[in-house]
Structure 1
């Protein structure tokens, strides 16, 4: 088959709450143009039918919950809506190949039925399903072996990839995600609404502090005292008649030169434009989730029997999901993983002890206990459009790279065509070299 036109590629990444969509690739890889709620509505009169919009009395249906497809018919209808909406923007396009990014929680039978639907009901030209974990490693430069941690709203998927193969038998799924942070913050800040809690979590004053930052913070035992030059005459301010103005100016100056962690209080603005002041609670809420992820990582990687591959995975931990945007979250997670799992941690912290250890233990003995190093992956620097917004949705970038490689070259070993589907049906999906 001749290569497809890049302007016709349709890439869809469905999530429990929202779905990312891109129709066509530009000259450079860029973040998706469209993000829509993953929701449809029950048809008002027809059973087992759906509509794209509902009124106050319409039943809202979420096809995906906690990463799992719970209503396949509604999911398929949702995919058809996205396909038709994309074509409306460029009706001249006739041959559309699709990449659908899949959670590790999707069953094989669901994937087969989705394949059947896109060919028989939608009439797609070419189709492939890309596991989200593979999309992530493609974005990171095609690492053959890694561990992908995908933090969703209500769950976290921990998926090992070994030699480009997703090890679903070794995955761990923990029933906690970003919403767990919101629940903790709501307990600490009961006067804030759910939306205000979310605004706080997304603000730049909400941080997960490392141990070093905790020592230096306003609330730590080693908090820095203010220099004498920073003291000011309260009486002079009061008698000047400009109390509020001067205090606000002073606070602004303090914020500009003082790190967030060293301020007793800081402010954020919620969606309604209200300014809200928060104390030490802005540094709390991530600890429990990070501990649960750390435990899940260990449980997952224990199932990789080849110790060299297991160590490779420990050395390439890739974290996705918008919770990873929280300031300091990745650093705090890395610290937790090292504290919980690094073999010979005390030796690693002492260069002299480590040198002595390495001089007496050969590499074969060292690999008998892993991990002897733990590293978070580092994204390449050549995706400027993505660098501007961050890499929390990096599996989508990987899908863009994947789509360009397979559809531009006409590599039919990586996708199902209409002719192949006509011969082999939905099972053709499992013949692909993904």
Structure 2
């Protein structure tokens, strides 16, 4: 009988940006049910932490309309403001992030974060915990984590699993190269027969994660008054794309001279050619018309050179002037749409269904959190707050309109807020961006990751495993979610390290040493015991043999060479230094819930598989976790004998 049940197991995956957790293993593994931002806020009492921003708001007491009410009001507040505390679940002002570049830099804050995650799950008492460990964590940190979990939560069992190893389990492969792209770093791990190779492992490669892509956008859009938050949201949108090397950037000379081989496909879908490759290049952006679609909107005649800082305008007390200007622009825009024949002609000339990679300018909706924070800090009433948010929001269906097309107010005649009219979520604004959205990874990020992959695989002592490592690349991590990132990374690796199997070097590399070699005169070194091709006439050509067996190593028997018995001590080890094939591992197809969201968080899926095996299936025989009696006998240092 297994010591634990599926519904009792807790899995926690701490990350620099997001922490994943789940209580219980479903019959079909699903993505993490709990997602928490990996930050905490200092509380008023020193040494304590809050999971959300706590705002202090002063509300004036309601004015009384009769004598009795006046007496009650004086007894409560005596004319003073009433202090109200409220949680702001959106703002991150003053947040502390305990994990940076995969390392735990603030232990009290990290322990508070884990405690918040544990309490959010609300588990029963008898719950084992499996923690996904980052590759950069040291053995001393493993011991500190073990001590905290056993003494804080009184867990009956605790286990650690390496993030790269968990990713390999998720894909169901025993040998692979894991490239984990996080927020501020990249980890590259070579796994051979379920064993991570510590020697040559690249951990916490800075300047190559998702934040580097954001900074790449910011470096090009900062002259237009863009900030980091704008670039971060642009990076997460389908409009930001990393183009393959053979796809030109729109507006360049290469894009203008691009040959259209299928005019029918270009007219209907925007693709310059037919076939699956051209169809895939169209992208996943929804069809238009509208914002954030393949069609989008045309750029206006007057192009904005920068982004207006609305938050500063609101904080500076110029809100009314800004709102009047926006109303005037809306009226002008409505009048322009009623241009009749001119508007129809412009609509007819509008490009149809252009893919994102062929559009120079696009418009996307930016959620202005800074503007929302400025409104909240002004201590406006509920009605005024809803009214300001509705008037400032520029997203679709931002304000209900009356029969005459005029915007309706979010408050009724009595001054009460009308339910359903106030916008949900942050204030949205329209931003226009050009070809800068294709240049997020133009600072050599992909080349540095490719170098790290080459160093990691070249450090594996088993040379015959290197070709399999090249053919089993897995790119995961939320930093790799940018559209086209994985394909561009594979293209960068292939362009730098891949050699063609038909290259002439395949016939001369890694040939056994006792084969005759050419001399300066053109003759071979005399070896009487061998034939004209390096062996007896009845034997095969060793050059051809070395070339063919490089691609069929898995079919060769171990030990001696059946075709060349005189050379049984020379075992061909394939071309480990120069890969002839580099490709991705095919994602698993038996997790339908994961197929919908993608396998960027495959480490959590692998942790579910590991938890099912070590806690339930083998009934505790593998000792892949540390029990409470083991901890009492060995202490925190004993975790090294149980960690995976």
TM class by smaller structure = 0.7 to 0.9
8 Å Cα contact 1:104-1:168 kept in structure 2: no
Higher radius of gyration, 1 or 2 = 2
Contact 2:159 2:643 (C-alpha < 8 Å) held by counterparts:
no
Aligned to 1:241: 340
Relative to structure 1, the CA distance from residue 423 to residue 247 in structure 2 (aligned partners, 3 Å threshold; closer, same or farther) is farther
**Which position in structure 2 is the counterpart of 1:352?**
none
TM-score, normalized by length of structure 1? 0.85
Residues 1:403 and 2:611 aligned together? yes
TM superposition shift of 1:33 = 1.3
Q: What is the alpha-carbon distance in structure 1 between the residues aligned to residue 218 and residue 502 of structure 2?
A: 37
CA contact (8 A) 1:338 1:345 kept: no
1:199 maps to 2:233: yes
In the alignment, which of 200, 205, 210 is matched to residue 178 of structure 1?
210
Change (3 A) 1:335 1:358: farther
**Which residues in structure 2 correspond to 1:125-140 (within 5 Å)?**
125-140=156-171
Stretch moving more, 10-19 or 239-248? 239-248
Secondary structure of 1:273's partner? Answer: strand
Residue 126 of structure 1 deviates from its aligned partner by 1.2
**Partner residue of 2:352?**
254
Q: CA RMSD in A?
A: 3.0
The aligned counterpart of 2:19 is 19
Change in Cα spacing, 1:131 to 1:250, as seen in structure 2 (3 Å) is farther
1:56 offset after TM fit, Å? 6.2
Which string of whole-angstrom CA distances, capped at 9 and with x for unpartnered residues, describes residues 287-334 of structure 1?
321111111111222211221122221111111112322222111111
1:109-167 Cα distance to aligned partner (Å, 9 max, x none): 111111111111210121101110011001101x2221111111111111222221222
- The secondary structure found in structure 1 opposite 2:234 is helix
Contact preservation (8 Å) 1:40, 1:61: yes
Q: Residue 119 of structure 1: SS of its match in structure 2?
A: helix
1:51-130 alignment runs, 5 A limit = 51-53=50-52, 55=54, 60-87=95-122, 93-130=124-161
1:261 is paired with a residue whose SS is helix
- Deviation, 1:415, is 0.8
Q: Which residue does 1:294 correspond to in 2?
A: 450
SS at match of 1:211: coil
Change in Cα spacing, 1:51 to 1:269, as seen in structure 2 (3 Å) is closer
SS in 1 for 2:130: strand
Aligned counterparts of 2:345 and 2:158: Cα–Cα separation in 1? 63
Q: 1:346 to 1:55 in 2, by over 3 A?
A: farther
Return 5+ residue gaps in structure 2 as ranges: 57-92, 268-335, 368-426, 505-542, 551-571
Q: State TM-score, norm by structure 2.
A: 0.59
Cα distance in 2 for partners of 1:289, 1:301 equals: 19
Distance 1:107 1:248, change over 3 A: farther
Distance of aligned partners of 1:274 and 1:50 in 2 relative to their CA distance in 1, 3 Å threshold: closer
Q: Distance in 2 between matches of 1:59 and 1:227?
A: 55
- What is the deviation of 1:223? 2.3
Richer in helix (by share): 1
Q: For the residues of structure 2 that align with 1:346 and 1:66, how far apart are their CA atoms?
A: 42
**Contact in 2 for aligned 1:127/1:416 (Cα 8 Å):** yes
TM-superposed CA distance for 1:242, in Å, is 4.6
* Residue-by-residue CA offset, 1:192-223 (whole Å, 9 max, x unaligned): 332221222112222111133338x6643542
Which secondary structure does the structure 2 equivalent of 1:392 belong to? coil
Q: Distance between the aligned counterparts of 1:299 and 1:119, measured in 2?
A: 38
